[in-house]
Structure 1
């Protein structure tokens, strides 16, 4: 089996009921774990150091038939890359306004450091105008539409603005519906938002206040849910060091998130991850983590304090390379769209890139292949931001546009990129 594949050892695959390790060219697969962690998958840490044997790299399969576009970014053959917008001020999260069509749609964008929500009107794949929707925000990140409101995740609150379809200016001032804890380790300030499909619940992500600690607020390192007016707020799932991206898997009720794991345990430990989110589940932080073999490890500094929480930890669905800083996740529709059929129902992850790893990693967009609703492997999709150890762009959010193309934001470059299929 090629070392280019995502490393998942045969013992772990067998433990989770996956076959195919014996053949040298069998495809690597990832099992969707829906049961609590098994005792034989727990590896106890006995010191603050992680063994060298555990410091393995999560590799992503390379797509051999790639092309380098004029932008300098490489994509699989048949795809093109377009610079959709530039000269933006730290563009982060994107969403699309109601009433979008394939020929025209409005991209609502949080320009976080500018304390601004902007609107890019896209017509036939080109930005024809830019407007400021509101400046009545504070480090905005998450954006979500529901029932003539635009909801915004400030670093310290969830607010909403009245919205009239087709307009690019807020129809009124901010209405605060919930306060959020702010501040913390290494700028864990992002607050992402996503409604369920019925519009009855709003999900909100809040990262930890530290790298590793026992939080005093249950809102931190968790995904909470609330009613659209901010009432009936509760923690939906916890144990996420820094959950950011949120997405619903097509044709399911599965909520997924991408999580940035803890620092200071090594270049390759613990992996960041993509995971399905189950109500009431605990995902490990700060007491435990999932390794690349999808086994649970007790954290060397905090695991001994709460062995019950270590045992309770749910295995993350798809581990990815540590320090990739996975921030965005989007699923391609299961039918229609611009991409070929084998992309339908797949997920795309944006890797912002490492800041404290000895050798840089990330700075790209990857594709998580799904088959029968379950993830099977990971391949590179957009590459090229990292050259000879230096980066010139950092992907943040990824979204599938109404015309079937893929958009992703680049906060360090101040740009929005568009990836589209042009045929073989």
Structure 2
């Protein structure tokens, strides 16, 4: 350990001086396109004694600059001047709710090597600012694709993320609880106090973002909770109720484990054809630039998806001890890989008609972008076609250009949502904007 500590000041100097500096680099050996799909190429693990840091420093968008829309699409700024916009929810009248949020304060956990480098990454990535703890309402009154008004819809929250409207009640997933507020159509703010529905596992908040969605029959909520570690290194007692999707019965306010072994699940969405619940998941780190692919998958009641004992099905993670062979034996292979370290966070199915029949009911995915892969991965929004409720082809880049020519992070896409007119909305939490994508063909 002393040897590692000696180099830390030098590492800090490298990061502070560089912006976008890379060191301790483990280069990918598998072409990135082979790491997507139902049967990705899986390299051999290459354990790292220190995280494979390759940070893209957060840098503001130059005036007049936009992300790059793929051929056949156009992009415009729907709203700007936001404070870390993370997640989106479109209300029935077309108003757009945006959660402006950042991580809650962390307790003093003492020194750890991984924690040291994670703090360096977060500082470079622009993720160390105080949370606005706000949900804002954006309104495009004249339908020109630009929000004319922005109001503070809800304030005083605790690192809010997911939102779902059910009848006259808006549910919000804070970092530590699901809370509810009365909602009336057309309202531009809510002054009523929060009503707590259930507590959610919090504590260290290694993964603090939590999503929530209502069941189609309106009787239940589903909420995501990410793990408190990379692979359980803080002890599995710290992981109770985490790395999971929970089901919440609204009549009794009882919560039960719905699916587990999902390291950092986000982006809950109902697949329109099958009716199945889908989620995107950030997988584990520190076994190389080629592993492990993030993924999206349908979520089975009672399903176990491997974390921390195995990855991408039943590939055992030898770092985790003691192992649990009985759990590994029933670990479910995910439906569709989304590339290693892409930090895929946003998921929404294209239920609108604007993008045409070929893209109907397919998935848009917001990939926040890697901090520990060489070369960098993610930093884009992709589309995955679906047929009969299942992914049916390779991904298509929809929105790129979030990395500058000199390798700075101008933006990092997170939440994606379908506007009332069918356009795609993208929350850019580093660029502090909401982008709007439409087809031109």
Q: 2:390 aligns with which of 351, 369, 374?
A: 374
- 2:425 alignment partner, one of 402, 407, 417: 407
**Greater Cα offset, 177-186 or 408-417:** 177-186
Match of 1:138 among 152, 158, 171: 158
Q: Per-residue deviation at 1:373?
A: 2.5
Q: How far did residue 4 of structure 1 move?
A: 7.3
2:410·2:431 contact (CA, 8 Å) conserved in 1? Answer: yes
Alignment partners' CA distance in 2, 1:164 and 1:372: 36
Q: Distance in 1 between matches of 2:317 and 2:280?
A: 20
- SS state at 1:126 partner: coil
- Give the deviation of 1:394 after TM superposition: 0.1
Distance 1:87 1:80 in 2: 21
In the alignment, the residues of structure 2 paired with residue 371 and residue 138 of structure 1 have an alpha-carbon distance, to the nearest angstrom, of 39
Q: What CA deviation, in whole Å up to 9, does each residue of 1:277-326 have, x standing for no partner?
A: 10000000000011xxxx63101212761111111100011112111000
Which of 306, 315, 319 is equivalent to 1:284? 306
Question: Unpaired segments of 5 or more residues in structure 1?
Answer: 9-27, 32-42, 52-69
Q: Which has the higher strand share?
A: 1
Tell me the CA shift for residue 134 of structure 1. 1.6
* Alpha-carbon distance, 1:358 to partner: 3.4
1:302-317 to 2 correspondences below 5 Å = 302=320, 305-317=323-335
Q: Deviations over 1:53-77 (max 9, x none)?
A: xxxxxxxxxxxxxxxxx74422232
| 1:394 matched to 2:415 | no
| 1:372-417 per-position Cα deviation (integer Å, ceiling 9, x unaligned) | 3321221211111123432210000001111010001000111000
CA contact (8 A) 1:247 1:255 kept: yes
Question: What is the rounded CA distance, in whole Å, between the counterparts of 1:251 and 1:341 in structure 2?
Answer: 14
| RMSD, aligned CA | 2.3
Q: Does residue 384 of structure 1 match 2:366?
A: no
Asked if residue 153 in structure 1 is aligned to residue 142 in structure 2, the reply is no
Question: TM-score, with normalisation over the residues of structure 1?
Answer: 0.80
Q: Can you give the 5+ residue segments of structure 2 that lack an aligned partner in the other structure?
A: 1-29, 49-63, 102-130
The Cα shift of 1:185 comes to 5.9
Aligned residue for 1:390, secondary structure, equals coil
- Is 2:236 aligned against 1:202? no
Aligned mates of 1:286, 1:85 — CA distance in 2: 39
SS at match of 2:34: coil
Q: CA deviation at 1:49?
A: 4.3
Counterpart residue number, 1:74: 68
- Counterpart-to-counterpart distance in 2, 1:230 and 1:208: 26
Instruction: Give the secondary-structure state (helix, strand or coil) at the position aligned to 2:236.
Output: coil
Residues 1:114 and 2:125 aligned together: no
Q: Does 1:83 align with 2:77?
A: yes
Q: Which residue pairs with 1:356 in the alignment?
A: 372
Change (3 A) 1:147 1:366: same
In the alignment, is the contact (CA less than 8 A) between 1:202 and 1:225 conserved in 2?
yes
> How do 1:201-220 residues align onto structure 2 when only pairs under 5 Å count?
201-213=220-232, 215-216=236-237, 217-220=239-242
| Distance across 1 between alignment mates of 2:176 and 2:419 | 29
CA distance in 2, matches of 1:392, 1:384: 8
Structure 1 distance, partners of 2:236, 2:140, is 43
Mapped partners of 1:110, 1:29: distance in 2: 30
Q: 297-306 or 112-121: which moved more?
A: 297-306
Aligned to 1:94: 88
Q: Given that residues 136 and 174 in structure 1 are in contact (C-alpha distance below 8 angstroms), is that contact kept between their aligned partners in structure 2?
A: no
The Cα of 1:230 is off from its aligned counterpart by 6.4
**1:406–1:74 Cα change, 3 Å:** same
CA apart distance, 1:29: 6.7
Alignment of 1:267-282 (within 5 A): 267-282=289-304
The residue that corresponds to 1:193 in the other structure is: 212
Instruction: Name the SS of the counterpart of 2:245 in structure 1.
Output: strand
Q: How many residues align?
A: 359
TM-score (norm 2): 0.77
Give the Cα separation in 1 of the matches to 2:379 and 2:37: 24
Q: Does the Cα contact within 8 Å between 1:370 and 1:377 map onto a contact in 2?
A: no
Which residue does 1:182 correspond to in 2?
202
**Residue in structure 1 matching 2:38, options 30, 33, 38:** 30
